[in-house]
Amino acid sequence: MAISLRESVEIGLADIWTRKVRTAVTVVGIILGVMSIMVVLAIVNGMNKSTLQWMEERGGLNKIDVHRNWEMDRKDWSLASFSLSELKLIRSLIPEAAAFTPEISDRSTGITKGELYFQTSVSGVFPDMTIVDEWNISEGRFINYFDINNSNNVIVLGSKAATELFSNHNPIGEYVYMQGQALKVIGIMQEKYLKMQGGWGGENALEYMNRRAFIPLTTMLHKISPNQTIDELSIKASSPEKALKLKTKLENILLNLKQGKKLFEVSSIKEQMDQMKQNSLMFTVIFVLIAVISLLVGGIVIMNIMLASIQERTREIGVRLAIGARRIDIFIQFMVQTILITTLGGVIGIVLGYAILNMVGTYLSMELVASLSMIYAALAVSVGVGLVFGIMPAVRASNLDPVNALRNE
């Protein structure tokens, strides 16, 4: 014949309403705690998401990039590029690499087709690019070595580039123009898609990749953009672990090739990824600590206020016991009340947390990802805090002696 939970909730809500100011004070710690949990989770989510995006763009953990060392001597600038025969040599020295491609990009020219002009980034690459970047074609074929050897006028379009230039028509076999050169469309790349985070709707974070286009490296070098030099390489190892070894080996090869001068930087995605993970772990630990401490402080504040409140309401408890409340009824009454207060704090914390995330997110243009599971987590935590810190006051209330409680002034 215990009183129902509904009754306890009603009593609790009525108490909260009669003691508005006290409740507001009580709840501040929990609000802060829940807010920091929201922020932590959003940042962690965001970091995971941007790491994912970063990985996607770069083509996985097996990848190694070679690019100019920006700290080299000014006078060595002209040396910091590769000839086609040097490329061949490098490739022959690393037979264990699964794939190998240089890359030259032309970001200024754009593609035309009749009246249409499409501003984009066109890259000159080797056939291996599809392996290195783990990005395949969806239609037609990709550039092959025959195209490279003959500097063929062929182009592979990203999915967005294709629809922008050809709308619904099949572009394969059609021609587009760059620098007066007619380029035959031979293939379309698969569409890349990664959902943008939270508040910004369903936009594709990788849309810019779908705008790109690819031509043979030699065509770029000889016909489109003769002033450019080859200074970027992408290499794919057969595994992330081998990528680390291959990276060291490549560094040595390039040093030997360029008279011991460090003209190029070799970086492994795996290495960078590990670094990023370590950074994000540290960050997470710090914020989790902040959240835990503020929840702890919030919980202790609530416990003390509940204890004071029970002291003040001793006589009420005596009256309830005198008219037939059981100890469990009193226990539940105060337990429910504490949990209601912390949950209220949790809800306010979630709302404020969201507001802050939106503000900070736009202000820092940082990757903050808010999700529904975060709300559940924050709610669970605030209920949990109420449970843990509500026990002691509720036990004390339910253990009061009825007569002493009634005599209390």
Contact positions toward another protein, by CB under 8 A? 1-4, 7, 14-15, 18, 315-316, 318-329, 401-403, 406
Give dist(CA 322, CA 357) in Å, integer: 51
Do residues 124 and 218 touch, judged by C-beta distance below 8 A? yes
Here the tokens at position 378 are 């924050």
Burial class from Cβ neighbours inside 10 Å (0-12, 13-18, 19+) for residue 36 reads buried
Closest to another protein by CB, 285 vs 328, is 328
Here the tokens at position 123 are 């890259």
Closest to another protein by CB, 323 vs 364, is 323
Give dist(CA 379, CA 341) in Å, integer: 12
Closest to another protein by CB, 162 vs 332, is 332
Closest to another protein by CB, 19 vs 58, is 19
Do residues 205 and 53 touch, judged by C-beta distance below 8 A? yes
Shortest reach from residue 381's CB to another protein, in Å: 30
Closest to another protein by CB, 14 vs 281, is 14
Phi-psi region of 60 (alpha: psi -120 to 50; beta: other; left: phi over 0): left
Give dist(CA 29, CA 120) in Å, integer: 52
Q: What is the CA radius of gyration of the chain?
A: 32
Closest to another protein by CB, 73 vs 401, is 401
Shortest reach from residue 402's CB to another protein, in Å: 5
Do residues 260 and 251 touch, judged by C-beta distance below 8 A? no
User: Length of the chain in residues, anyone?
Assistant: 409
Shortest reach from residue 303's CB to another protein, in Å: 22
Shortest reach from residue 7's CB to another protein, in Å: 6
Shortest reach from residue 25's CB to another protein, in Å: 19
Closest to another protein by CB, 96 vs 401, is 401
Residue 265 is given by DSSP the state E
Here the tokens at position 306 are 């509940």
Shortest reach from residue 23's CB to another protein, in Å: 14
Shortest reach from residue 11's CB to another protein, in Å: 9
- In this structure, the strands spanning 111-113 and 233-236 are unpaired
Query: Cα–Cα distances in Å, from 325 out to 184, 246, 332, 337, 340?
Result: 87, 76, 11, 16, 21
Give dist(CA 148, CA 222) in Å, integer: 11
Shortest reach from residue 322's CB to another protein, in Å: 5
Closest to another protein by CB, 242 vs 315, is 315
